[in-house]
Amino acid sequence: MIQNILSIVVALGVLITFHEFGHFFVARRCGVKVLRFSVGFGKPIYRYVGKTGTEYTLAMIPLGGYVRMLDEREGDVPPELMSQTFNVKSVWQRIAIVAAGPIANFILAVVIYAGVALLGIQTMAPKVGDIVENSPVSQTQMRSGDEVVAVNGEAVSSWDDVNLVLADLIGKTGTIIVRYQLAESDSLQEDTVALNRWLVGEEPSNLIRAFGFSPWQPEVVPTIAQVVEGGAAASAGFMAGDTILAIDDQPVSRWRQVVELVQANPSQSLLVEVDREGRTLELLLLPNSTEQNGRLIGYAGVAVVPPQWDESLIRERHYGPIESLTYGVAQMSKMVSLTVSSIGKMLQGLISVDNLSGPITIAKVASASAESGLQSFLKFMAYLSVSLGVLNLLPIPMLDGGHLLFFGIEAARRKPVSERIQGFAYRVGASLLFALMAIAIFNDIARL
């Protein structure tokens, strides 16, 4: 829980600060007096007043922030400060100030992606493991060991690339082409896959698996690396270094077989044949039991020796300063396109609202990405920054996009939208945002 909280606080803290700094920076350049720059909502836990009179605060609830500017609509303004109010600035200056927040998020995403590229990007080649029956991929001649090269015309060099392309295919009806390199060969093959409203209304937890394949993994030999003290395996006499040969006279050669047999026999004796330093021994294992997804499963209390990965599947690329910046812009643009496309599909009903996520899911993803390493956490922050920028540009009153909509109408009409219409629109926008937040939080709790 502590890691979840720290991960999301760091991620959101950085993204919100950059977003609000965008508003702050452009407002100051346009001659607007900034009264308060706040990161977070609620009671301030830190407060500092700068030389220009701006109050900088850090508040208790790190789920947003705001920049409060001098504005006649929010109170009386002394005559000598009238020229520094937000509302007297030209419509184009106000548009620039409001748009600066989302733009700052896009710039931050470019910088983060460029930083990741400078550090060096290490990925796993998209070599196929299992093929799922009755799936889109099962329509092809692809087999375990083949390597995916392109999906729907998009070149892919890692499973991350494959995942992004598949995310863009949700809701698609029609045919696509999957290109792959045959195992143990340089030959390329193309097959056609037919999709019909793919994953419409569903909430897939794994797009790659839903499409029909899984990443290749080396076979895990059932050699024990560690025995949990006091567990079922320890009581049966298992030792680190033992290699399991058979269970109840059924030969096993892969760790997955061991797991399946043990889980299927909770609290039931199993005769296990092991190889210990060249000697064959028989041990009687009585698996402990635990409840998982409404059923009892067995567990033994052992860890397996991790397998050795084929180093040829690990792809690493380093970028120079210019290349990394180009990569950052390309990745940011790709994520903006994917986010906008996903929102559009949700409005069309092609993507279920069950996919909406709130702060709990974001915190869990932030924690998981932090556990995976610096590169993974930085990529998560970059994508979250893009999402924050895109969502704020939606033409919903209460968001930056809503303000931009009104300012755009004002620029076209040469006359501001009436206060009455704006007030009504803000109430509708607030209701919509609260409803979306309620759905997202409900989905978070349901996933728990």
pLDDT of residue 389: 95
| Predicted confidence (pLDDT) at residue 116 exceeds the cutoff of 90 | yes
pLDDT of residue 381: 94
What percent of the chain shows pLDDT beyond 70? 99
pLDDT of residue 274: 96
- How confident is the prediction for the chain on average, in pLDDT? 90
- pTM score, two decimals? 0.81
Question: Per-residue confidence at 330, pLDDT binned at 50, 70, 90?
Answer: very high
Q: How far apart are CA 429 and CA 401, in angstroms?
A: 11
Q: Kindly report, residue by residue over 140-165, the tens digit of the pLDDT.
A: 999 999 999 999 999 999 998 999 99
Higher per-residue confidence, 373 vs 289: 289
Question: Per-residue confidence at 68, pLDDT binned at 50, 70, 90?
Answer: very high
- Segment 290-299 shows an average pLDDT of 85
* Domains along the sequence of the chain with CATH: 2-30+89-120+380-447 (no CATH), 122-218+308-317 (2.30.42.10), 224-304 (2.30.42.10)
| Predicted confidence (pLDDT) at residue 352 exceeds the cutoff of 90 | no
Range of weakest confidence among 195-204, 256-265, 283-292, 393-402: 195-204
Per the CB < 8 A criterion, the answer to whether 35 and 78 are in contact is no
Question: Per-residue confidence at 412, pLDDT binned at 50, 70, 90?
Answer: very high
pLDDT of residue 316: 86
- Segment 322-343 shows an average pLDDT of 94
Q: Which of 237, 193, 190, 189 is nearest to 211 (CA)?
A: 193
Question: Per-residue confidence at 1, pLDDT binned at 50, 70, 90?
Answer: low
Q: Kindly report, residue by residue over 207-261, the tens digit of the pLDDT.
A: 999 999 989 888 889 999 999 999 999 999 999 999 999 999 999 999 989 999 9
| Predicted confidence (pLDDT) at residue 3 exceeds the cutoff of 80 | no
pLDDT of residue 194: 93
**Active site residue ranges:** 20
Question: Per-residue confidence at 311, pLDDT binned at 50, 70, 90?
Answer: confident
Q: Kindly report, residue by residue over 166-187, the tens digit of the pLDDT.
A: 999 998 999 999 999 998 788 9
Report the run of H or E that residue 235 belongs to, with start and end. helix 232-236
Q: Are strands 128-131 and 213-215 parallel, antiparallel or unpaired?
A: antiparallel
Angle between helices 321-348 and 91-119 (to 10 degrees): 120
- Segment 108-113 shows an average pLDDT of 97
Torsion angle in degrees (nearest 10) through CA of 218, 224, 230, 235: 130
Q: Would you tell me how many other CB atoms lie within 10 Å of the CB of residue 237?
A: 15
Helix, strand, or coil (residue 142): coil
Q: Which residues contact 169 (CB under 8 A, 6 or more apart)?
A: 151, 152, 176, 195, 198
| Predicted confidence (pLDDT) at residue 360 exceeds the cutoff of 80 | no
| Predicted confidence (pLDDT) at residue 62 exceeds the cutoff of 80 | no
